[in-house]
Homo-oligomer: A and B are copies of this chain.
Amino acid sequence: MHVLPPYERILVLTEGHLGVFSSKTAACLLRYRGQDVVGVIDSVAAGTDVRTAISWAPPVPVFANVAAATGSQPQALFIGIAPVGGALPPQMRQHVRDALQAGIDVVSGLHAYLSDDEEFVKAARQSGARLFDLRRPPTPGVIAGGRARGTRCRRVLTVGTDGNVGKMVTAFELKRAAQQRGLDARLAATGQTGIMIEGCGIVVDAMVADFAAGAAEQVVLDIGDCELGIIEGQGSIAHPGYSGVTLALLHGACPDAMILVHHAGRTRYKAEPHDPIPPLGRLCAAYEQAASLLHPARVVAVAINGFDVEERLVQAEMRRIERELKVPVADPITPDVQRLLAAVAE
Q: Give residues in A with beta carbon < 8 Å to B.
A: 143-146, 204-210, 212-214, 237-249, 251, 271-272, 275, 278, 282, 285-286, 289-290, 293-294
Q: Whole-angstrom distance between the alpha carbons of A293 and B279 in the complex?
A: 10
Q: List, sorted by A's number, 21 A–B pairs whose CB atoms are closer than 8 Å.
A: A145-B241, A145-B275, A146-B240, A205-B208, A205-B210, A207-B209, A209-B209, A209-B244, A209-B245, A209-B248, A213-B241, A214-B241, A238-B293, A238-B294, A240-B251, A241-B251, A244-B249, A247-B247, A275-B294, A278-B293, A289-B289
Copies of this chain, complex-wide, total 2
Q: Whole-angstrom distance between the alpha carbons of A272 and B208 in the complex?
A: 20
Give A275's nearest chain B residue, CB to CB.
B146
Residue of B237, B271, B294 near A293 (CB, 8 A) is B237
Verify B214–A204 contact, CB threshold 8 A: no
Q: Whole-angstrom distance between the alpha carbons of A285 and B293 in the complex?
A: 11
Chain B nearest Cβ from A340, distance in angstroms: 25
Give A269's nearest chain B residue, CB to CB.
B145
Verify B293–A290 contact, CB threshold 8 A: no
Verify A206–B210 contact, CB threshold 8 A: yes
Residues on B with beta carbons closer than 8 Å to the beta carbon of A285? 289
Give A249's nearest chain B residue, CB to CB.
B244
Verify A146–B209 contact, CB threshold 8 A: no
Most buried by B among A242, A244, A271: A244
Residues on B with beta carbons closer than 8 Å to the beta carbon of A244? 209, 212-213, 244-249, 251
Give A142's nearest chain B residue, CB to CB.
B241
Q: Which 8 A-B pairs have the closest CB atoms?
A: A244-B248, A143-B241, A238-B293, A146-B240, A209-B212, A144-B241, A247-B247, A244-B244
Verify A204–B213 contact, CB threshold 8 A: no
Chain B nearest Cβ from A260, distance in angstroms: 15
Residues on B with beta carbons closer than 8 Å to the beta carbon of A245? 209-210, 244, 248
Verify A286–B278 contact, CB threshold 8 A: no
Residues on B with beta carbons closer than 8 Å to the beta carbon of A212? 209, 244
* A248 and B243 contact, Cβ closer than 8 Å, known pairs A206-B208, A275-B146: yes
Q: Whole-angstrom distance between the alpha carbons of A251 and B271 in the complex?
A: 16
Residues on B with beta carbons closer than 8 Å to the beta carbon of A237? 247, 293
Give A235's nearest chain B residue, CB to CB.
B210
